[in-house]
Structures are given as structure tokens and as C-alpha cells.
Chains A and B, each alone.
Chain A
């Protein structure tokens, strides 16, 4: 119900429009008037869905072509069997061949294609098939010249904000991206700056990719770290150039080899520039087992970084890290177990040291209370149980882990002991809200984490 005063305001403003007193006001008011007059219609149009009986209405459900059978499906003119698509999408498309042409399903597929392949637009065309009563479906795609996104964001009540904003562009098989990063979650330091990457996804063959990364970060240290760590180890900025080749050995297995030419700069003139050049290698394994009632996924990863004086490095070290993840889903329930172990030998820079007590490990603990300078050894396990309500998932998790330095290392600042934490989370799409508690005899301060993709 519009009040007389509100009506008066609108009429007065309308007179202003007619008198042409202000172009901006005229424009704004025309939109308001249009909205008021067109209100219910606009509502119907924007909603695209009208509640009809107990079913949500979609125009696509009323398409006259639904009586035809799908003969074939192509993406950008390439048959679905030969098109380069994520396997889940390919399976969904293949399953539609020979079935009734459900336009609502095709619209959902177009939407998922656009989201997963980061495309500007995807539309589906129906063409007459080779026989009457059959249709061919072709998904037309339009790539985005430049794509901007926020791939990661986190607020952590103990360590503040972490986030990343990225601009990327794809030209043929070449992908370019530049990101602005501020990360106070992963390492003993907070690093802020830019990360740029070039990637060629088809280097002579679909099985070989080449990537070149560039990072330039300003570094800030927590007061506890600054107090404990040797001053010579606390650099103020670092720069990294990292070329890498990735080989797809088999469908679930990839192997990457490369190098990392990293340079740290200290404010102390006596320390100045230091090189931490290393040979890098990574092995990734991912396998999915789809059952009728139970779906399982196994992922494994091994990381190696070898700092060597042969590459002109001031540090000589070897860093090994292994991660294993097992996920099982059945109906509304899911369980995930993630195990991580790592070892660092030799003399390594601070950014290589292991930490626990962040948004993914020993959630609820303050990582500077565990060890402000990180450690040379790590072992951690995280167990998560989830129950799904529609698009929402409620989670409970239990983390346990230990950081330590072998022998009587000078870097050992806290007694090595296993630590535990518990927490609950709420997940919807990429958004996550979690509250975690350390299990300790002392004062328990819960940690709140909110964000996406962390």
C-alpha cells in the first residue's frame, strides 16, 4: 500500500522530470516509474519461474520439441565423445542420447558448461536429425576475452583476512592470469603481492602442459615469530620465477617437473639478497569409484623441492610432502579423511617450513602458539563427517597433528606433542562457515572461519 506522502514524493519528482531540471534525476526517476508501473510484470519476468500448483514452472518444461528423441550431442560442432570436456559433463551428455529431448535438462547442462569451462555464454541449438522424430543438439559456446574472479576468500578470527582476486584470459591453448594476493593463512609469514601465470595446455600434445609462474610478495611477520626467529631469516620480500612441465602419464596420474628461482630480500644490509633456487617435482593421482549407492574418491599427491647450490642457491635443502585424501558419499552422508606428512632436511628458508593451526589443519589452534617459526617435520590427519540438506551441508570435523624438529634443532621452540581440535561447519556451494575448538587443558578460545574455497 503506497501512502499519500509517498505518492506526493513520486508526483513531485515526476514534475521535476517533466520540467527537465536534472538529467540524472530524470533518468533515475524514469527507471523508478518504469519499475512501479511495470512492477508485477518485471517480477514475473525476472523470476523466470512461476509457482503453479506444487511444481516450479519453467518455460523449458513446455517446449513442443520435447516429444523428439536426441540423436546426437555436440559442443561447438565437435561430437561429445571427441570434445574436451570434464568427464562428469561428458557422461551426463552421453546419457541423454536416445532419450526424450528435455529442454530443461539441456538448459541446466548449458549452464553447467558455462560455469565449469568459464565461458561467457553457452546456448543450445536443436537441429533436425537424420530421421523424422529425431533431433541433434549442438551447444554453441562463446569464450570470455577476459575473466575476473575472486577464487578464494577467508576471514579467520585469529589471523584476519586472506583473499585472492584474479584476472585471466585465454587465447587458444594459452592461458594468462594475474592475481592480487594477501595470504596470512598458509605460512609462518603473511605474504601480499601479485602472482602471474602463463600456461600452455597443449605443448605438442594434449599430454604435455607448460606453465610459467611469477610471484612478487611483500612479507610481514607476526610479533611472536619476529621475537623467536633469527633476524637473518626474516626477509621483507620475496620474488619467484617457476617454470614447470606437466606430463599426463595416465588418466588419473600426472607428473610435473620444474624449477623455482626464488630470491628473498632482507632489510638488513648485511643479509641483503638470498637465493633459494630449487628443482621441483610433483606427482598427482586422482581416482573416482562410482557405485549405485556409494561414491568414493581417492587423491594422492607427493611434492619434492630440492634446494641446490648447483642452481646458485644460498640454501641447500630437501623438502618432501605427501598428502592423501579419501572421500566416501552415500545418499545425504559423506565422510572425508585427509592425511598429510612432510619432512624438511638441510638449511631451508622460512617459507618452506611446515605449519599447523590454520584454516585447514588443527583448526581452532593458534599456529604461532604451536610453533611461531614452523618446523621441519609434520604429520596431520583430518576427519570430516557431513550431512546434506538440499544444497546445504552440515559438517563435524576432528583434526589431530604434530609438528616437531628432529634432534636438538635450534629452531625447536615448543615441545613437540600431538594436538587435537574439534569443530562444526556449515557449507553451501563454495561458501563455508566453521567454528573450531582446540582440545587443551588451558583456556579454550573458539576460532571462527568464514569464506569460500579455503
Chain B
């Protein structure tokens, strides 16, 4: 009975893929709550958190070489007076920069995934492919303390090698496939 109940309530997030004009975009259902734990605490303390997102198209589920890839970097912050989130998508060129503010946590998470896209022309038209979404908070480690006025700090050096991934940096990864371009539904 207990096992049955668990089977009903345990819902794993799924990647939903759609074509939006000349771009392939993703959504996560149910909603992917990647703003949590230490990252969320730091945001609510007024700090900035950088998130790196990656969307990859591969020919197989374990394929190491992607057919196409899109990487984006988001700077998130939390307005301590208005209690709302803001985000900026960084780009190499100023015209590619996008910003949004006054959003809830859920809305800002959706905005980040919406802003990851791959050009349709880069996706294989005649063969099945897999789509993978990766999200990770940027490494907040401060390596400036390694070498200071008092010499080389061995404790800091040990800390860097001891914990390659800190709390709150847990990466999120979702994969879906095989898909065909002709099967994808168009947005709108």
C-alpha cells in the first residue's frame, strides 16, 4: 500500500521540447525548482548568484560529442525591499543581453529555461536525437584566500580539492529522446 502511494506521488520532471520559429526551446514539467538550498539563502541575503545553463543535442543517450550546444549565463538577485527576483542573461554582445525583474522564484526559473535555445538549422533533420538540459550555480569559492600576505594557505588549498562541488551547487540534468525534428510541436 505504501509502495503504491509512493508510486502515485513521486513525479519526476520531464523535458518538454518545442519549436519556436527557428529555435528549439525547452520547458520542464512539472516545474523545475532549481533555486533552492544555499543558492536561495544567498540570494535572500542580497548576494548575486550566477547560473550557467546548457542545452545539448546528441545523437545517442550516452553520446559524448554533441551535435549542437547552447550555453548561457544568468546573473540572479533578490530585491530585499520588494521581495522579488531579478535576472540578467549575459551575452558576448550588448544587444544579446536580456534582463527581467519583479518576478517570483518560479517565474524567474521558467524565464531562465525559456532563454536557452538552439537554432533549428543545427539539429539533424533526418535522424533521431536526444536533448539534455544542464543547470548549475556558479562556483562561489573564493580562491583569493589561497595566497595572501602571510604566504600560501595550505588549509585553503585542501578545501579546494576536498569539496569540488559545494552545497547549493548541485547540478540539475534532464535528458529526453529519441526525438525527430518532424515530430516536434510548434509553439503558439
**A residues adjacent to B (C-beta < 8 A):** 2, 7, 10, 14, 33, 36-38, 40-42, 44-46, 48, 50-53, 57-65, 68, 103, 107, 110-112, 114-116, 118, 120, 123-128, 132-133, 135, 144, 146-153, 165, 429-430, 452-453
Chain A residue with Cβ nearest B89: A62
Q: State which of B49, B65, B91 has its C-beta within 8 Å of the C-beta of A59.
A: B49
CA distance in complex: A188, B158 (Å): 36
CA distance in complex: A107, B140 (Å): 11
CA distance in complex: A67, B74 (Å): 19
Decide if B45 touches A149 in the complex (CB within 8 Å): no
User: Max chain A CB contacts within 10 Å: which of B65, B69, B91, B138?
Assistant: B138
Q: State which of A36, A57, A65, A123 has its C-beta within 8 Å of the C-beta of B79.
A: A65
Assess A128 versus B81: contact at CB under 8 Å? Given A40-B69, A50-B73.
yes
* Chain B: interface residue total (CB-CB under 8 A): 54
Decide if A124 touches B48 in the complex (CB within 8 Å): no
Q: Which residues from A are CB-within-8-Å of B158?
A: 148
Decide if B144 touches A115 in the complex (CB within 8 Å): yes
Decide if B78 touches A45 in the complex (CB within 8 Å): no
Q: Which residues from A are CB-within-8-Å of B171?
A: 38
The verdict on B121 contacting chain A, using a C-beta distance below 8 Å, is: no
Decide if B92 touches A103 in the complex (CB within 8 Å): no
Chain B residue with Cβ nearest A14: B62
Q: Which residues from A are CB-within-8-Å of B52?
A: 41, 44-45
Chain A residue with Cβ nearest B74: A59
Decide if B148 touches A115 in the complex (CB within 8 Å): yes
Q: In the complex, given contacts A64-B77, A68-B81, A127-B80, what are 16 additional A-B residue pairs having Cβ atoms less than 8 angstroms apart?
A: A7-B64, A37-B66, A38-B171, A41-B134, A45-B52, A58-B48, A62-B99, A63-B47, A114-B142, A114-B145, A116-B149, A124-B47, A126-B45, A128-B81, A151-B150, A152-B151
Chain A residue with Cβ nearest B64: A36
B111-159 CB contacts (< 8 Å) to partner A: 134, 136-139, 142, 144-145, 147-155, 158
The verdict on B56 contacting chain A, using a C-beta distance below 8 Å, is: yes
Pairs A-B, 6 closest by C-beta atoms: A126-B46, A59-B50, A62-B75, A148-B154, A151-B151, A64-B86
The verdict on B88 contacting chain A, using a C-beta distance below 8 Å, is: yes
- A98 CB to closest chain B CB, in angstroms? 18
Could you show 21 A-B contacts with beta carbons less than 8 Å apart?
A: A40-B69, A40-B71, A45-B136, A48-B50, A52-B94, A57-B73, A59-B138, A65-B78, A65-B79, A65-B80, A68-B80, A114-B142, A118-B153, A120-B155, A124-B47, A126-B80, A127-B80, A132-B81, A144-B155, A429-B147, A453-B149
CA distance in complex: A398, B92 (Å): 49
- B145 CB to closest chain A CB, in angstroms? 5
Q: Which residues from A are CB-within-8-Å of B66?
A: 37
- B41 CB to closest chain A CB, in angstroms? 10
The verdict on B54 contacting chain A, using a C-beta distance below 8 Å, is: yes
Chain A residue with Cβ nearest B169: A45
Chain B residue with Cβ nearest A101: B46
- A11 CB to closest chain B CB, in angstroms? 8
Q: State which of A46, A52, A64 has its C-beta within 8 Å of the C-beta of B90.
A: A52
- B187 CB to closest chain A CB, in angstroms? 25
Assess A111 versus B144: contact at CB under 8 Å? Given A103-B46, A124-B46.
yes
Decide if A44 touches B73 in the complex (CB within 8 Å): yes
The verdict on B93 contacting chain A, using a C-beta distance below 8 Å, is: yes
Decide if A147 touches B90 in the complex (CB within 8 Å): no
User: Max chain B CB contacts within 10 Å: which of A125, A127, A429?
Assistant: A125
Q: Which residues from B are CB-within-8-Å of A37?
A: 56, 64, 66
Chain A residue with Cβ nearest B138: A45
Q: State which of B56, B69, B147, B154 has its C-beta within 8 Å of the C-beta of A430.
A: B147
Q: Which residues from A are CB-within-8-Å of B152?
A: 149-150, 153, 452
Q: State which of B54, B134, B145 has its C-beta within 8 Å of the C-beta of A115.
A: B145
Decide if A40 touches B151 in the complex (CB within 8 Å): no
Decide if B45 touches A125 in the complex (CB within 8 Å): yes
Assess A53 versus B94: contact at CB under 8 Å? Given A60-B48, A64-B77, A132-B81.
yes
